């Protein structure tokens, strides 16, 4: 892999949720391409392990472990300030932290509805704003990318609060891209589909068969698939891309959940002029 193509060597980024799964894969890929990485995680041991592994493998790369809860405003702002000081100045941010309440919209308690919006939307705005303020203050361009979900593009039963938060994240990226483009700051989103991560495992064989009917590529994605998409947005490969959402979903959002293949041709709607 030609690292110079990505333009990441010597740059610095903070990865929120970098201690495992998609976040860990993103930290490692950034480091492989020569970037310095601040690894933020709510569990300090995870962040320290990832940061230590990066430094051990990459002598020319700096990495910093930060323990913080992204839902604590003061702790999040302090973490970004620390990363800016110790491995910065920061050139951007990737945010992976998120979690979903699964259940009926009729039954969801409002505190859990609010929690879904806090952990999937609100903290990302605060973090992105802090990173952007620093970039603007020194007149530097940068890139901010977040993990949303296909549930923010297409509705899913039982994911009302989560899906609406992720849809908000998609729109928030567009709004911030429009406002910050004049400063050279790009804002984009990656929307994973059916994935396998440390927290998301396959269901029963029957459930997996039903799920795969909705995924044209007939398989789940992995953490590296998301890491590659996130790093694409942080890199020079996407230098003229902002305000966009990239589904990484095996084709799920391309075709939708309804399969008409067994219905046959509909007379007069075949694409061939009737005789």
CATH of the domain at 209: 3.40.50.720
Domain annotation covers residue 272: no
Q: Rounded to an integer, what distance in angstroms lies between the CA atom of residue 6 and that of residue 157?
A: 39
Predicted pLDDT at 27:
98
Query: Among residues of the chain, what percentage have pLDDT more than 90?
Result: 68
Range of the domain at 28: 3-263
As given in the structure block, the two tokens for residue 157 are 């039963």
In a domain, 9, yes or no: yes
Within-domain flag for 270: no
Pairing relation of β-strands 12-16 and 36-41?
parallel
Answer whether residue 81 is part of any domain. Answer: yes
Where do the H-state alpha helices sit in the chain? 21-32, 44-57, 73-86, 110-117, 123-137, 160-180, 205-212, 223-234, 252-255
Whole-prediction pTM: 0.90
pLDDT value of residue 271: 37
Evaluate whether residue 273 is within a structural domain. no
Flag whether pLDDT at 202 surpasses 90. no
Chain-centre distance of CA 195, in angstroms?
13
Classify residue 76: in a domain, yes or no: yes
Instruction: Report residue 69's pLDDT band, with 50, 70 and 90 as the boundaries.
Output: very high
Residue 21 lies in a domain: yes
Exposure string over 66-77, b if 16+ CB within 10 A, otherwise e = bbbebeeeebbe
Asked which of 19-33, 100-114, 169-183, 231-245 is least confident by mean pLDDT, the reply is 100-114
Q: How many domains does the chain have?
A: 1
pLDDT at position 175 is 98
């Amino acid at each position: 892999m030609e690292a110079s193509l990505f333009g990441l060597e010597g740059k610095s980024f903070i990865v929120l949720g970098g201690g495992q799964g998609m976040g860990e894969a993103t930290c490692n890929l950034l480091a492989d391409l020569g970037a310095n990485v601040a690894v933020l995680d709510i569990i300090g041991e995870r962040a320290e392990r990832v940061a230590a592994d990066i430094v051990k493998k990459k002598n020319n790369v700096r990495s910093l472990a930060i323990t913080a809860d992204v839902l604590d405003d003061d702790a999040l702002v302090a973490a970004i300030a620390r990363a800016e000081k110790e491995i910065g100045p920061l050139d951007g941010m990737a945010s992976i932290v998120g979690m979903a309440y699964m259940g009926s919209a009729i039954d969801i308690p409002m505190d859990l509805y609010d929690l879904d919006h806090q952990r999937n939307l609100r903290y990302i705005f605060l973090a992105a704003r802090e990173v952007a303020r620093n970039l603007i203050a020194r007149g530097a361009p940068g890139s901010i990318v977040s993990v949303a979900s296909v549930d923010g593009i297409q509705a899913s039963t039982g994911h009302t609060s989560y899906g609406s938060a992720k849809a908000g994240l998609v729109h928030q990226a567009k709004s911030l891209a429009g406002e910050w483009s004049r400063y050279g700051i790009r804002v984009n989103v990656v929307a994973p589909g059916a994935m396998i991560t440390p927290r998301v495992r396959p269901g029963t064989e029957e459930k997996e068969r039903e799920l795969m009917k909705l995924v044209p590529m007939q398989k789940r994605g992995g953490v590296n698939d998301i890491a590659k998409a996130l790093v694409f947005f942080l890199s020079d490969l996407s230098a003229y891309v902002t305000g966009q959402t990239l589904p990484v979903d095996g084709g799920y959002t391309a075709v939708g959940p309804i399969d008409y293949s067994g219905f046959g041709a509909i007379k007069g709607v075949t694409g061939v002029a009737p005789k």
